[in-house]
Structure 1
Amino acid sequence: MSAREFNFDGLVGPSHNYAGLSFGNVASFSNVKSASNPKLAALQGLAKMRALASRGFGQALLPPQDRPNFRLLRSIGFTGTDAEVLAKAAKESPVILACAYSASPMWTANAATVSPSADSADGRTHFTAANLNNKLHRAFEHEQSARALRAIFKDEKHFAVHDALPGTPAFGDEGAANHTRLCKDHGSSGVEMFVYGRTEFDASAPAPKKYPARQTLEASQAVARLHGLSAGRTVYIQQNPDVIDQGVFHNDVIAVGNANALFYHEQAFADEAGALDQLRRALAGVDADLSPIRVDTARVPVADAVASYLFNSQLLSKADGKMALVIPQECQEVASVAAYLDGLVAGGSAIDELIHFDLRQSMRNGGGPACLRLRVALTDAEAAAMHQGVVMTEALYHTLVAWVEKHYRDRLDPADLADPQLAIEVHNALEELSRILGLPGLYDF
């Protein structure tokens, strides 16, 4: 059965800010407490969505989450009116206020893990909201993520949306950022690759020493069970602990796959040869051959890959059978990466086109093109069954640009998070957005 891949990009919210909350994410940490530009961030993201949609790629969006998270603030003892809660949090614990205002839901690669109907036992597309329990500022996201996914994919004949796994360290789950699907084509059965950083119940297993491993093997196995995946077409691969300690906090910062191609760094996996062997054997079962594209450390050091977010790119199938690599502008500014990409496109690989975007507002907060999108392969019937109001069109693009221009600030300083007017502005903006997208009741204000 034929299917098309849709990329659901996170629409950047009106309170986009740089709080530097993500230990292990070098870009996020290096820009802590800088002034941000929410309006520019949203417009950069919308420009990317529009450009890809105009090229014929399946493009949709996931709406931003409500901020600040008053449920978090009230659950830990801040009381009174909304303005009083903000004032108390700003005085007593500014870092917790920053957590409540986190901009991280824009990175929808962490919203959920997705398995298309061609892979699941019941023939439905399955979503499991990621618990993101490694970080306080993200640990509450799964509630609204599941709510939004159920609003968009509400037809239970075609879709199943699962709640997040238990919020304990044993089931640390970061969603699609550590999950890749390889296949002959999007409509046929594929191989689902789960990359994990550590094993909870094996103390002897290797693990990073400096930065946390956010995805566990146990979480990956649980998601595969929930989705009804075939054991023979499911592969579990450990991320290289040393590369996590170099700032590669998710697999999608060091590897990206699409169709039968795997674009990855030499140091991505704990056992490179073993990982490739597992994938080749599994893909043989779905009549596909693995096409690995390996980037050697000698050509692109890990530090350069992290600085440029070379692998946090989108690898998209084109109508002519070739692939385009969607990269941030930073890839052209890191000499080793720019030189490598010039050779890659000219060298006859499956990737024959580079598409550049200026996503600096997102990049400064630690997320590139791949972080901004959740991949969902849908048949024609499934695409028709999902909510159409989130599918990017030229008309929707212009409507959303006008909405951003109306509601977003062009500068947000860390001190602004204590301003009760900002919370009111966000609330008003999201109320209007829910009407624009045709999703009444999306937010639990």
Structure 2
Amino acid sequence: MDMDIQKAQVNTLISLLGKSNLDSKTGYRVTCYRMPNGEERSTEYFGLALAEYLQVRRMILIGTASSMWDLLVENVAGDDAAEELRIMLFDAVRAGTVSEDLLGKLAPAIEQKVGRKVTPLVISSSVTFAEQQALLFRLEELLQKDERVALDLTHGFRHLAMLGLAASRYLSHERGVQVVGLYYGALDMTRDGITPVVTVDGLAHLLEWAEAFEGYDASGDFSRFAPLLKRDGLAHEAADALERAWGLLQVSNVSDAARTLYSAWKKLESPLTGASELFRKRLQKALRWCQAQQLSEKLRLLALQSLGRGDVLRAAVFGFECTLVREVEEAGGNPLDYEQRKAADDRLQEAFKGGEEGPDWKRHAYWLLKNVRNACAHSAPPRNTKHAELMRNPERLRRELDATLNRLTNT
């Protein structure tokens, strides 16, 4: 994503305040950080420089009851903060008893200096999962739906950086928060007095792709990949085609869905940027049904995909339509014509009624797919005893449908 665009998208920065390993009286040393766009900013507290770089309206500053709140107040607000409150803060830090109430009284002096609202959040060391959950709940309370948030993972305990990554996904799902940046001031990578700022958004993007595929595997909804592909540079027209095609497939308009999807599928033949490239071939394989030449094959592949995720109804619907469409195609007709498909159904039913005519596999496929489709649609068992037994044994039914759908390629 373009850095200027990303900066403009951020409303709130969540930053961790830790303890200094250098000097408990002076805190972090002054460090020159090189921002992602090449700008250089010198500061003791990376979060403050990052907030200025991103031009956020608010900072949520997280620390424990013994983090260097006192040094932050001294270096940022100095004499602008009431002396009595500063002395109370010094004592509280040494005792490990800093409270949000005390920090709230000091926040206006900090805000006046940094030019943005500052919300201090005092947390435990978050050692246990219950403590980690508590932090996520607190953040959820402080954020609004669609708020655009960046996370600074530089300071604090190392496990909090991992928690921050998990928080980015939790907040997206549970609060509708848009996490648009994760940053790390890599002090260990300092060279010639310059410390690079590393963006680790890609790690969150990997999780988003994994979640998207988990959702796709459960529902078949490939439209969920559209925003991820747009973010990584796929043409908006191609990404939007996924959403339009899914809408068409939802109403079983397979022909138009395939035609709409094909242009996007072709775009996936070329490398993508970002996390999308790691999942490109898997996505292309998932959408390969759209490039099948005949409608009957598109339907068969969709039936197998539906069966693979346990959607027996759609597997039977697509599979049965495949048998009718293939009959029309072999007769040189128009498979999109309802009357021709109805006539094909009547012919097959009449031919197979006695159970003697036609190849065994074809007769078996026709009656199994039709009976399962009707049973699922009408919530009533088939009259056929064997098929009724299959409907009472989902695992056997799936195996039988899988073998049947694969046999539909027979001539």
Place the TM-score, normalised by the shorter chain, in its bin.
under 0.3
> Counting helix residues as a fraction of each chain, which structure ranks higher?
2
Structure with the bigger RCO (C-alpha within 8 Å, sep 6+) is 1
**TM-score relative to the length of structure 1:** 0.22
**TM-score relative to the length of structure 2:** 0.23
